[in-house]
Chains A and B, each alone.
Chain A
Amino acid sequence: MNGVISWITASEHWTGEDGVPNRLLEHLQYSFTAVVIAALIGIPLGLYIGHTGRGRFVVVNLVGAIRAIPSLGLLFVSVLLLGPRLDGDAAFLVPSEIVLVVLAVPPILAGAYAGVEEVDPAARDAAKGMGMRGTEVLTKVELPCALPLIFSGLRSGTLQVVATATIAATAGMGGLGRFLIDGLAVRDYTQMAAGAVLVAALALIVDLVFALVQRYVVSPGLTGRVGRASRPRNRRAGAAAAALQPAP
Protein backbone atom coordinates (compact mmCIF):
# COMPACT_ATOMS: atom_id res chain seq x y z
CA MET A 1 0.00 0.00 0.00
CA ASN A 2 2.88 2.40 0.83
CA GLY A 3 4.37 1.66 -2.59
CA VAL A 4 1.07 2.58 -4.23
CA ILE A 5 0.87 5.89 -2.36
CA SER A 6 4.43 6.85 -3.22
CA TRP A 7 3.79 5.86 -6.87
CA ILE A 8 0.79 8.16 -7.04
CA THR A 9 2.56 11.04 -5.31
CA ALA A 10 5.82 10.71 -7.28
CA SER A 11 6.25 13.83 -9.44
CA GLU A 12 7.57 11.89 -12.47
CA HIS A 13 4.16 10.23 -12.78
CA TRP A 14 2.44 13.58 -13.15
CA THR A 15 4.09 14.86 -16.35
CA GLY A 16 4.21 13.92 -20.03
CA GLU A 17 2.02 11.74 -22.24
CA ASP A 18 2.18 8.88 -19.77
CA GLY A 19 1.48 11.10 -16.75
CA VAL A 20 -1.64 10.95 -14.61
CA PRO A 21 -3.12 14.30 -15.81
CA ASN A 22 -2.89 13.35 -19.49
CA ARG A 23 -4.31 9.85 -18.93
CA LEU A 24 -7.11 11.29 -16.81
CA LEU A 25 -7.92 13.83 -19.51
CA GLU A 26 -8.01 11.06 -22.14
CA HIS A 27 -10.28 8.97 -19.94
CA LEU A 28 -12.64 11.92 -19.43
CA GLN A 29 -12.64 12.73 -23.16
CA TYR A 30 -13.54 9.17 -24.19
CA SER A 31 -16.22 8.93 -21.53
CA PHE A 32 -17.73 12.36 -22.14
CA THR A 33 -17.93 11.81 -25.91
CA ALA A 34 -19.62 8.44 -25.50
CA VAL A 35 -22.10 9.64 -22.88
CA VAL A 36 -23.09 12.73 -24.90
CA ILE A 37 -23.72 10.65 -28.04
CA ALA A 38 -25.58 7.99 -26.06
CA ALA A 39 -27.71 10.66 -24.34
CA LEU A 40 -28.57 12.27 -27.69
CA ILE A 41 -29.85 8.87 -28.83
CA GLY A 42 -31.26 7.48 -25.59
CA ILE A 43 -33.09 10.40 -23.97
CA PRO A 44 -35.30 11.49 -26.93
CA LEU A 45 -36.05 7.85 -27.74
CA GLY A 46 -36.87 7.04 -24.11
CA LEU A 47 -39.09 10.11 -23.76
CA TYR A 48 -40.90 9.18 -26.97
CA ILE A 49 -41.47 5.58 -25.85
CA GLY A 50 -42.57 6.67 -22.38
CA HIS A 51 -44.91 9.34 -23.75
CA THR A 52 -46.54 7.24 -26.45
CA GLY A 53 -46.21 3.82 -24.85
CA ARG A 54 -44.99 2.43 -28.19
CA GLY A 55 -42.07 -0.02 -28.12
CA ARG A 56 -42.20 -0.54 -24.35
CA PHE A 57 -41.45 -4.23 -24.85
CA VAL A 58 -38.26 -3.38 -26.74
CA VAL A 59 -36.83 -1.22 -23.92
CA VAL A 60 -37.31 -3.73 -21.12
CA ASN A 61 -35.76 -6.56 -23.12
CA LEU A 62 -32.98 -4.48 -24.67
CA VAL A 63 -31.64 -3.47 -21.27
CA GLY A 64 -31.55 -7.08 -20.07
CA ALA A 65 -30.03 -8.38 -23.28
CA ILE A 66 -27.21 -5.82 -23.42
CA ARG A 67 -26.35 -6.56 -19.79
CA ALA A 68 -25.71 -10.22 -20.71
CA ILE A 69 -23.22 -9.35 -23.47
CA PRO A 70 -19.66 -9.27 -22.09
CA SER A 71 -18.19 -5.84 -22.81
CA LEU A 72 -14.65 -7.17 -23.25
CA GLY A 73 -15.73 -9.52 -26.05
CA LEU A 74 -17.78 -6.79 -27.74
CA LEU A 75 -14.80 -4.44 -27.56
CA PHE A 76 -12.38 -6.92 -29.14
CA VAL A 77 -14.77 -7.94 -31.93
CA SER A 78 -15.40 -4.28 -32.72
CA VAL A 79 -11.66 -3.44 -32.86
CA LEU A 80 -10.78 -6.53 -34.93
CA LEU A 81 -13.61 -5.99 -37.43
CA LEU A 82 -13.53 -2.18 -37.78
CA GLY A 83 -9.88 -1.48 -36.97
CA PRO A 84 -8.38 -2.61 -40.30
CA ARG A 85 -10.76 -0.27 -42.14
CA LEU A 86 -9.47 2.79 -40.29
CA ASP A 87 -6.09 4.55 -40.15
CA GLY A 88 -3.77 5.50 -37.30
CA ASP A 89 -5.22 6.13 -33.85
CA ALA A 90 -8.75 5.95 -35.25
CA ALA A 91 -8.25 2.20 -35.70
CA PHE A 92 -8.52 1.81 -31.91
CA LEU A 93 -10.49 4.89 -31.00
CA VAL A 94 -13.52 4.63 -33.25
CA PRO A 95 -14.38 0.94 -32.62
CA SER A 96 -13.94 1.43 -28.86
CA GLU A 97 -16.04 4.59 -28.80
CA ILE A 98 -18.78 2.76 -30.70
CA VAL A 99 -18.82 0.03 -28.04
CA LEU A 100 -18.90 2.64 -25.25
CA VAL A 101 -21.93 4.28 -26.88
CA VAL A 102 -23.65 0.91 -27.45
CA LEU A 103 -23.21 0.07 -23.75
CA ALA A 104 -24.37 3.50 -22.52
CA VAL A 105 -27.56 3.79 -24.59
CA PRO A 106 -29.68 1.09 -22.87
CA PRO A 107 -29.46 2.44 -19.28
CA ILE A 108 -30.00 6.04 -20.47
CA LEU A 109 -32.93 4.99 -22.66
CA ALA A 110 -34.45 2.92 -19.85
CA GLY A 111 -34.06 5.83 -17.40
CA ALA A 112 -35.84 8.28 -19.67
CA TYR A 113 -38.55 5.75 -20.47
CA ALA A 114 -39.14 4.69 -16.86
CA GLY A 115 -39.12 8.33 -15.76
CA VAL A 116 -41.95 9.30 -18.09
CA GLU A 117 -43.84 6.05 -17.51
CA GLU A 118 -43.75 6.60 -13.78
CA VAL A 119 -45.23 10.10 -13.85
CA ASP A 120 -48.36 10.26 -11.70
CA PRO A 121 -51.31 9.80 -14.08
CA ALA A 122 -53.19 12.42 -12.06
CA ALA A 123 -50.51 15.02 -12.93
CA ARG A 124 -50.75 14.08 -16.60
CA ASP A 125 -54.55 14.27 -16.56
CA ALA A 126 -54.45 17.61 -14.77
CA ALA A 127 -52.09 18.96 -17.44
CA LYS A 128 -54.43 17.76 -20.18
CA GLY A 129 -57.40 19.18 -18.31
CA MET A 130 -55.65 22.55 -18.21
CA GLY A 131 -55.56 22.43 -21.99
CA MET A 132 -51.93 21.41 -22.60
CA ARG A 133 -51.15 19.66 -25.86
CA GLY A 134 -49.12 16.44 -26.12
CA THR A 135 -45.75 18.17 -26.52
CA GLU A 136 -46.54 20.62 -23.72
CA VAL A 137 -47.46 17.78 -21.39
CA LEU A 138 -44.16 16.13 -22.29
CA THR A 139 -41.92 19.17 -21.81
CA LYS A 140 -43.71 20.92 -18.90
CA VAL A 141 -44.92 17.98 -16.84
CA GLU A 142 -43.47 14.63 -17.85
CA LEU A 143 -39.88 15.77 -18.42
CA PRO A 144 -39.45 17.61 -15.07
CA CYS A 145 -41.12 14.72 -13.23
CA ALA A 146 -38.93 12.21 -15.06
CA LEU A 147 -35.66 13.99 -14.18
CA PRO A 148 -34.70 11.80 -11.20
CA LEU A 149 -34.86 8.63 -13.28
CA ILE A 150 -33.27 10.32 -16.31
CA PHE A 151 -30.39 11.14 -13.99
CA SER A 152 -30.16 7.59 -12.66
CA GLY A 153 -30.00 6.38 -16.25
CA LEU A 154 -27.28 8.90 -17.14
CA ARG A 155 -25.36 8.01 -13.98
CA SER A 156 -25.53 4.27 -14.73
CA GLY A 157 -24.54 4.82 -18.34
CA THR A 158 -21.62 7.06 -17.36
CA LEU A 159 -20.28 4.63 -14.75
CA GLN A 160 -20.57 1.82 -17.29
CA VAL A 161 -18.61 3.92 -19.80
CA VAL A 162 -15.91 4.89 -17.27
CA ALA A 163 -15.47 1.19 -16.39
CA THR A 164 -15.41 0.00 -19.98
CA ALA A 165 -13.05 2.79 -21.06
CA THR A 166 -10.61 1.32 -18.50
CA ILE A 167 -10.85 -2.09 -20.15
CA ALA A 168 -10.46 -0.46 -23.57
CA ALA A 169 -6.77 0.09 -22.73
CA THR A 170 -6.26 -3.60 -23.61
CA ALA A 171 -7.41 -2.72 -27.12
CA GLY A 172 -4.90 0.12 -27.46
CA MET A 173 -6.88 3.07 -26.06
CA GLY A 174 -5.29 5.63 -23.73
CA GLY A 175 -6.87 6.69 -20.46
CA LEU A 176 -6.22 5.59 -16.89
CA GLY A 177 -6.56 1.94 -17.95
CA ARG A 178 -3.10 2.24 -19.50
CA PHE A 179 -1.49 2.12 -16.03
CA LEU A 180 -3.28 -1.15 -15.29
CA ILE A 181 -2.46 -2.76 -18.62
CA ASP A 182 1.10 -1.44 -18.98
CA GLY A 183 1.82 -2.42 -15.38
CA LEU A 184 0.53 -5.90 -16.11
CA ALA A 185 2.71 -6.21 -19.20
CA VAL A 186 5.92 -5.53 -17.24
CA ARG A 187 4.69 -7.26 -14.03
CA ASP A 188 4.79 -3.99 -12.09
CA TYR A 189 2.05 -4.57 -9.53
CA THR A 190 2.59 -1.19 -7.85
CA GLN A 191 1.78 0.64 -11.06
CA MET A 192 -1.29 -1.55 -11.65
CA ALA A 193 -2.59 -0.98 -8.14
CA ALA A 194 -1.93 2.77 -8.36
CA GLY A 195 -3.86 2.87 -11.65
CA ALA A 196 -6.68 0.86 -10.08
CA VAL A 197 -6.88 3.32 -7.16
CA LEU A 198 -7.08 6.23 -9.63
CA VAL A 199 -9.80 4.50 -11.67
CA ALA A 200 -11.83 3.70 -8.56
CA ALA A 201 -11.43 7.29 -7.33
CA LEU A 202 -12.57 8.63 -10.71
CA ALA A 203 -15.67 6.42 -10.65
CA LEU A 204 -16.56 7.49 -7.11
CA ILE A 205 -16.08 11.19 -7.96
CA VAL A 206 -18.24 10.85 -11.08
CA ASP A 207 -20.93 9.21 -8.95
CA LEU A 208 -20.69 12.02 -6.40
CA VAL A 209 -20.90 14.73 -9.08
CA PHE A 210 -24.06 13.13 -10.45
CA ALA A 211 -25.60 13.03 -6.99
CA LEU A 212 -24.80 16.75 -6.47
CA VAL A 213 -26.04 17.88 -9.89
CA GLN A 214 -29.23 15.90 -9.39
CA ARG A 215 -29.84 17.65 -6.07
CA TYR A 216 -29.76 21.05 -7.75
CA VAL A 217 -31.54 20.24 -10.99
CA VAL A 218 -34.43 18.09 -9.81
CA SER A 219 -37.48 19.89 -8.43
CA PRO A 220 -37.58 19.66 -4.60
CA GLY A 221 -41.21 18.60 -4.89
CA LEU A 222 -40.06 15.32 -6.40
CA THR A 223 -37.20 14.39 -4.13
CA GLY A 224 -39.26 14.44 -0.94
CA ARG A 225 -37.02 17.18 0.47
CA VAL A 226 -40.07 19.31 1.12
CA GLY A 227 -41.60 16.52 3.15
CA ARG A 228 -44.51 14.75 1.53
CA ALA A 229 -45.81 11.19 1.60
CA SER A 230 -44.21 8.95 -0.99
CA ARG A 231 -46.56 8.08 -3.80
CA PRO A 232 -47.25 4.54 -4.97
CA ARG A 233 -44.99 3.62 -7.84
CA ASN A 234 -46.04 2.19 -11.14
CA ARG A 235 -44.92 -1.43 -10.89
CA ARG A 236 -43.82 -1.98 -14.45
CA ALA A 237 -41.73 1.18 -14.56
CA GLY A 238 -40.31 0.24 -11.17
CA ALA A 239 -39.02 -2.98 -12.68
CA ALA A 240 -37.36 -1.07 -15.51
CA ALA A 241 -35.81 1.28 -12.97
CA ALA A 242 -34.43 -1.67 -11.00
CA ALA A 243 -32.61 -2.79 -14.10
CA LEU A 244 -30.78 0.54 -14.18
CA GLN A 245 -27.82 -0.57 -12.11
CA PRO A 246 -24.64 -0.33 -14.19
CA ALA A 247 -22.40 -3.33 -14.75
CA PRO A 248 -19.07 -2.32 -13.24
Chain B
Amino acid sequence: MTWFLDHYSDVLSLAGKHILLAGLPLVLGLVIAIPLGWLAKRYRFLHAPLIMGTGLLYTIPSLALFILMPLVIGTRILDPLNVIVAMTIYTVALLVRTVADGLSAVPDSVNQAATAMGFKRVRRLFMVELPLATPVIAAGLRVAAVSNVSIVSVAAIIGVPQLGSLFTEGFRLNYTDPIVVGIIACVLLALLFDLAIIGATRLITPWQRVRRA
Protein backbone atom coordinates (compact mmCIF):
# COMPACT_ATOMS: atom_id res chain seq x y z
CA MET B 1 0.00 0.00 0.00
CA THR B 2 2.79 2.46 0.89
CA TRP B 3 4.47 1.49 -2.39
CA PHE B 4 1.37 2.58 -4.26
CA LEU B 5 1.14 5.90 -2.39
CA ASP B 6 4.80 6.63 -3.23
CA HIS B 7 4.35 5.77 -6.89
CA TYR B 8 0.75 6.61 -7.71
CA SER B 9 1.62 9.19 -10.36
CA ASP B 10 3.75 6.60 -12.20
CA VAL B 11 0.94 4.06 -11.93
CA LEU B 12 -1.56 6.60 -13.28
CA SER B 13 0.64 7.45 -16.25
CA LEU B 14 1.12 3.72 -17.00
CA ALA B 15 -2.64 3.23 -16.66
CA GLY B 16 -3.19 6.03 -19.19
CA LYS B 17 -0.92 4.26 -21.69
CA HIS B 18 -2.68 1.00 -20.92
CA ILE B 19 -6.08 2.55 -21.66
CA LEU B 20 -4.83 3.77 -25.03
CA LEU B 21 -3.17 0.45 -25.97
CA ALA B 22 -6.24 -1.60 -25.00
CA GLY B 23 -8.99 0.89 -25.91
CA LEU B 24 -7.95 2.17 -29.33
CA PRO B 25 -7.78 -1.39 -30.81
CA LEU B 26 -11.28 -1.96 -29.44
CA VAL B 27 -12.63 0.95 -31.49
CA LEU B 28 -10.57 0.10 -34.58
CA GLY B 29 -11.47 -3.58 -34.29
CA LEU B 30 -15.18 -2.81 -34.09
CA VAL B 31 -14.99 -0.52 -37.12
CA ILE B 32 -13.24 -3.25 -39.14
CA ALA B 33 -15.36 -6.12 -37.83
CA ILE B 34 -18.72 -4.56 -38.77
CA PRO B 35 -18.22 -4.69 -42.58
CA LEU B 36 -16.49 -8.09 -42.32
CA GLY B 37 -19.30 -9.48 -40.15
CA TRP B 38 -21.85 -8.10 -42.58
CA LEU B 39 -20.05 -9.77 -45.50
CA ALA B 40 -19.94 -13.06 -43.59
CA LYS B 41 -23.68 -12.85 -42.93
CA ARG B 42 -24.66 -11.60 -46.41
CA TYR B 43 -22.60 -13.98 -48.56
CA ARG B 44 -22.73 -17.62 -47.49
CA PHE B 45 -19.57 -18.57 -49.33
CA LEU B 46 -17.60 -15.96 -47.36
CA HIS B 47 -18.95 -17.10 -43.99
CA ALA B 48 -16.66 -20.07 -43.33
CA PRO B 49 -13.40 -18.48 -44.60
CA LEU B 50 -13.99 -15.25 -42.67
CA ILE B 51 -14.99 -16.88 -39.39
CA MET B 52 -12.34 -19.60 -39.56
CA GLY B 53 -9.60 -17.28 -40.81
CA THR B 54 -10.10 -14.75 -38.04
CA GLY B 55 -10.48 -17.62 -35.56
CA LEU B 56 -7.03 -18.92 -36.53
CA LEU B 57 -5.50 -15.47 -35.95
CA TYR B 58 -6.92 -15.58 -32.45
CA THR B 59 -5.01 -18.77 -31.64
CA ILE B 60 -1.60 -17.10 -32.12
CA PRO B 61 -0.13 -16.43 -28.66
CA SER B 62 0.15 -12.70 -27.88
CA LEU B 63 3.89 -12.55 -27.23
CA ALA B 64 4.55 -14.26 -30.57
CA LEU B 65 2.20 -11.89 -32.41
CA PHE B 66 3.78 -8.79 -30.83
CA ILE B 67 7.23 -10.00 -31.89
CA LEU B 68 6.09 -10.89 -35.42
CA MET B 69 4.45 -7.50 -36.02
CA PRO B 70 7.68 -5.73 -37.17
CA LEU B 71 8.08 -8.41 -39.88
CA VAL B 72 4.54 -7.79 -41.10
CA ILE B 73 4.21 -4.00 -40.89
CA GLY B 74 7.88 -2.96 -40.92
CA THR B 75 7.97 -1.19 -37.56
CA ARG B 76 10.70 -1.31 -34.92
CA ILE B 77 10.30 -3.84 -32.12
CA LEU B 78 9.72 -1.17 -29.43
CA ASP B 79 7.08 0.69 -31.44
CA PRO B 80 3.73 0.78 -29.54
CA LEU B 81 2.10 0.47 -32.98
CA ASN B 82 3.01 -3.24 -32.90
CA VAL B 83 0.81 -3.68 -29.85
CA ILE B 84 -2.02 -1.59 -31.27
CA VAL B 85 -2.11 -3.52 -34.56
CA ALA B 86 -1.81 -6.90 -32.81
CA MET B 87 -4.60 -6.04 -30.38
CA THR B 88 -6.75 -4.80 -33.27
CA ILE B 89 -6.24 -8.17 -34.97
CA TYR B 90 -7.42 -9.99 -31.83
CA THR B 91 -10.41 -7.68 -31.48
CA VAL B 92 -11.43 -8.20 -35.11
CA ALA B 93 -10.97 -11.97 -34.68
CA LEU B 94 -13.40 -11.99 -31.75
CA LEU B 95 -15.92 -9.56 -33.18
CA VAL B 96 -16.39 -10.75 -36.80
CA ARG B 97 -18.25 -13.79 -35.55
CA THR B 98 -20.24 -11.76 -33.00
CA VAL B 99 -21.28 -9.18 -35.62
CA ALA B 100 -22.31 -11.93 -38.06
CA ASP B 101 -24.31 -13.70 -35.32
CA GLY B 102 -25.91 -10.46 -34.18
CA LEU B 103 -26.98 -9.50 -37.70
CA SER B 104 -28.32 -13.00 -38.38
CA ALA B 105 -30.47 -12.76 -35.25
CA VAL B 106 -32.40 -9.79 -36.66
CA PRO B 107 -35.84 -11.20 -37.56
CA ASP B 108 -36.55 -11.52 -41.27
CA SER B 109 -39.91 -9.80 -40.85
CA VAL B 110 -38.15 -6.67 -39.57
CA ASN B 111 -35.78 -6.62 -42.55
CA GLN B 112 -38.66 -7.12 -44.95
CA ALA B 113 -40.65 -4.34 -43.29
CA ALA B 114 -37.66 -2.00 -43.57
CA THR B 115 -37.19 -2.88 -47.23
CA ALA B 116 -40.90 -2.34 -47.87
CA MET B 117 -40.59 1.10 -46.26
CA GLY B 118 -37.96 1.97 -48.85
CA PHE B 119 -34.73 1.40 -46.90
CA LYS B 120 -31.82 0.63 -49.24
CA ARG B 121 -29.19 -1.92 -48.20
CA VAL B 122 -26.68 0.41 -46.48
CA ARG B 123 -29.29 2.54 -44.76
CA ARG B 124 -31.11 -0.57 -43.58
CA LEU B 125 -27.84 -1.90 -42.12
CA PHE B 126 -27.14 1.26 -40.12
CA MET B 127 -30.71 2.25 -39.19
CA VAL B 128 -32.29 -1.14 -38.56
CA GLU B 129 -29.96 -4.15 -38.45
CA LEU B 130 -27.02 -2.77 -36.46
CA PRO B 131 -29.18 -1.12 -33.76
CA LEU B 132 -31.08 -4.38 -33.29
CA ALA B 133 -27.83 -6.37 -33.21
CA THR B 134 -26.25 -3.99 -30.69
CA PRO B 135 -26.89 -6.09 -27.54
CA VAL B 136 -25.18 -9.13 -29.13
CA ILE B 137 -22.28 -7.07 -30.49
CA ALA B 138 -21.90 -5.33 -27.12
CA ALA B 139 -21.63 -8.70 -25.36
CA GLY B 140 -18.78 -9.65 -27.72
CA LEU B 141 -17.16 -6.24 -27.23
CA ARG B 142 -17.19 -6.73 -23.46
CA VAL B 143 -15.36 -10.05 -23.79
CA ALA B 144 -12.84 -8.39 -26.15
CA ALA B 145 -12.38 -5.40 -23.80
CA VAL B 146 -11.65 -7.52 -20.75
CA SER B 147 -9.22 -9.79 -22.58
CA ASN B 148 -7.50 -6.84 -24.30
CA VAL B 149 -6.72 -5.21 -20.96
CA SER B 150 -5.17 -8.44 -19.74
CA ILE B 151 -3.27 -9.26 -22.95
CA VAL B 152 -1.75 -5.78 -23.37
CA SER B 153 0.22 -6.30 -20.15
CA VAL B 154 2.26 -9.02 -21.91
CA ALA B 155 3.79 -6.28 -24.10
CA ALA B 156 5.86 -5.23 -21.08
CA ILE B 157 8.16 -8.17 -21.88
CA ILE B 158 9.20 -6.53 -25.15
CA GLY B 159 9.52 -3.17 -23.38
CA VAL B 160 6.35 -1.29 -24.36
CA PRO B 161 5.40 0.67 -21.20
CA GLN B 162 1.93 0.21 -19.63
CA LEU B 163 0.65 -1.41 -16.41
CA GLY B 164 2.45 -4.64 -17.33
CA SER B 165 5.73 -2.77 -16.78
CA LEU B 166 4.93 -3.01 -13.05
CA PHE B 167 5.09 -6.81 -13.40
CA THR B 168 8.48 -6.92 -15.14
CA GLU B 169 9.85 -4.23 -12.81
CA GLY B 170 8.63 -6.01 -9.67
CA PHE B 171 9.97 -9.34 -10.90
CA ARG B 172 13.37 -7.80 -11.70
CA LEU B 173 13.56 -6.27 -8.19
CA ASN B 174 12.18 -9.44 -6.54
CA TYR B 175 9.43 -7.31 -5.01
CA THR B 176 5.73 -8.27 -5.09
CA ASP B 177 4.16 -4.88 -4.23
CA PRO B 178 4.32 -3.34 -7.72
CA ILE B 179 3.08 -6.63 -9.23
CA VAL B 180 0.07 -6.77 -6.93
CA VAL B 181 -0.69 -3.08 -7.59
CA GLY B 182 -0.41 -3.80 -11.34
CA ILE B 183 -2.80 -6.77 -11.14
CA ILE B 184 -5.36 -4.74 -9.17
CA ALA B 185 -5.02 -1.82 -11.59
CA CYS B 186 -5.53 -4.15 -14.58
CA VAL B 187 -8.64 -5.72 -13.04
CA LEU B 188 -10.06 -2.28 -12.19
CA LEU B 189 -9.36 -1.09 -15.72
CA ALA B 190 -11.11 -4.15 -17.17
CA LEU B 191 -14.08 -3.40 -14.92
CA LEU B 192 -14.05 0.24 -16.08
CA PHE B 193 -14.09 -0.80 -19.75
CA ASP B 194 -16.87 -3.27 -19.02
CA LEU B 195 -19.01 -0.64 -17.27
CA ALA B 196 -18.34 1.89 -20.03
CA ILE B 197 -19.57 -0.56 -22.69
CA ILE B 198 -22.64 -1.49 -20.62
CA GLY B 199 -23.41 2.22 -20.13
CA ALA B 200 -22.96 3.07 -23.81
CA THR B 201 -25.14 0.12 -24.83
CA ARG B 202 -27.94 1.26 -22.52
CA LEU B 203 -27.71 4.76 -23.99
CA ILE B 204 -28.01 3.66 -27.60
CA THR B 205 -30.63 0.95 -27.06
CA PRO B 206 -33.34 2.74 -25.05
CA TRP B 207 -36.00 0.29 -26.26
CA GLN B 208 -34.32 -2.50 -24.27
CA ARG B 209 -35.16 -0.71 -21.02
CA VAL B 210 -38.74 -0.14 -22.08
CA ARG B 211 -39.13 -3.81 -22.87
CA ARG B 212 -37.76 -4.81 -19.49
CA ALA B 213 -39.93 -2.36 -17.53
Contact = CB atoms under 8 A, between A and B. Distances in A.
Contact of B56 (A171, A192, A207): A207
B62 A163 contact: yes
Given A80-B171, A167-B154, A193-B71, 6 more contacts: A1-B71, A70-B164, A170-B168, A204-B56, A245-B94, A245-B143
A193 B171 contact: no
A127 interface: no
A124 interface: no
Interface stretch (A49-57, A194-202, A212-220): A194-202
Contact of A68 (B70, B150, B158): B150
A68 B149 contact: yes
29 contacts: A1-B71, A69-B150, A70-B154, A70-B167, A70-B186, A71-B154, A72-B157, A72-B164, A73-B164, A73-B183, A76-B171, A76-B179, A77-B176, A80-B175, A80-B179, A159-B61, A180-B67, A195-B64, A196-B64, A197-B64, A200-B61, A200-B64, A200-B65, A203-B60, A204-B56, A204-B60, A207-B56, A248-B58, A248-B90
B140 interface: yes
Contacts of A192: 67, 77
Interface string A159-191: 100110011001100000100110010000100
A168 to B, nearest CB: 10
B155 to A, nearest CB: 9
Contacts of B61: 159, 162-163, 166-167, 199-200, 203, 248
Nearest 7 Cβ contacts at the A-B interface: A163-B61, A196-B64, A68-B190, A70-B153, A196-B67, A199-B64, A73-B183
B203 interface: no
A189 B164 contact: no
A207 B183 CA distance: 29
Contacts of A204: 56, 59-60
Interface string B156-185: 111000011011101100111001101100
A193 B182 CA distance: 28
B152 to A, nearest CB: 8
Contacts of B94: 245
Contacts of A166: 61, 63-64
Interface in B24-69: 56, 58-65, 67-68
B59 A207 contact: yes
Contacts of B59: 159, 203-204, 206-207, 246, 248
Chain B binding surface SS class: helix
Contacts of B156: 72
Interface of A: 1, 4, 64, 67-74, 76-77, 79-81, 159, 162-163, 166-167, 170-171, 177, 180-181, 184, 189, 192-193, 195-197, 199-200, 203-204, 206-207, 239, 242-243, 245-248
B186 A200 contact: no
A166 B180 CA distance: 22
B159 to A, nearest CB: 8
Contacts of A68: 146, 149-150, 186-187, 190-191
B143 A243 contact: yes
A42 B178 CA distance: 31
A184 B157 contact: yes
Contacts of B147: 67, 245, 247
B198 interface: no
Contacts of B139: 239, 242
A199 B67 CA distance: 11
Interface centre among B59, B149, B170, B186 (most CB of A within 10 A): B59
Contacts of B90: 248
Of B149, B153, B154, B175, which is in contact with the most chain A CB atoms at under 10 Å from its CB? B154
Contacts of B164: 70, 72-73
Contacts of B179: 73, 76-77, 80
Nearest to B77: A189
